[in-house]
Amino acid sequence: MSIKIVIKDKNLMVKEHKVVERYYECVIDYGDWIFIEESQKNVKFETENEDLLLLFSSDDTIVLKSLLKRLKENPNENIPAQFSDMGLINQLSTKLEFVKNDLFDEEYFIKDIDKLNSLLNGKSQEKVTASVLNKSVKFQYEKQETLEVENETFEVYKEGDFTIYLRT
């Protein structure tokens, strides 16, 4: 199986790579846009230092050298208004994109380290909206357990040091 990778650098120069080897390394520079011609759901992610390893079901491995470092360096939302030219920010941001599965697929595009971390943590991470004092709060959680307390059932979720108990 061959996998096609398209890399567009910040100067809009396009390089196409057709990967036919079982193990392939590619150095990622600041502002590169990387397109993998494969659905994200067919790829497993691993990290090694500042590199991202893409493990395909065909036992092929692509190593995107320095990608983690580049994603951490991306401009964030806290840029002062006078410098917030989104065209320029998007051009300078490093991005990883996969083939979109369907109209509602939001997992195909990775442009920040938080999105990548949620994929690295696997299927146990889900998005949930909890109602707290009539305000919606979105959070990433990992279900730890289900508790029964005085004939009521609670699901226990953790995010770092934060624990949430939801009555079911």
Q: Are strands 33-39 and 3-8 parallel, antiparallel or unpaired?
A: antiparallel
Q: Where are the extended beta strands (E) located within 9-124?
A: 14-19, 23-27, 33-39, 43-48, 51-56, 61-65, 95-99, 109-110
Domains in the chain: boundaries: 3-120, 124-167
Determine if the pTM surpasses 0.75.
no
How does pLDDT run along the chain (168 residues), one tens digit per residue?
578 899 998 888 999 988 888 899 999 998 899 999 888 888 888 889 899 999 888 888 999 999 988 888 887 655 555 555 555 566 678 888 888 776 666 667 787 777 787 777 754 344 445 544 444 455 556 677 787 777 788 777 776 666 777 777
DSSP state of 100: -
The CA distance from 141 to 125, in Å, is 6
Given its phi and psi angles, is residue 41 left (phi above 0), alpha (psi -120 to 50 degrees) or beta? alpha
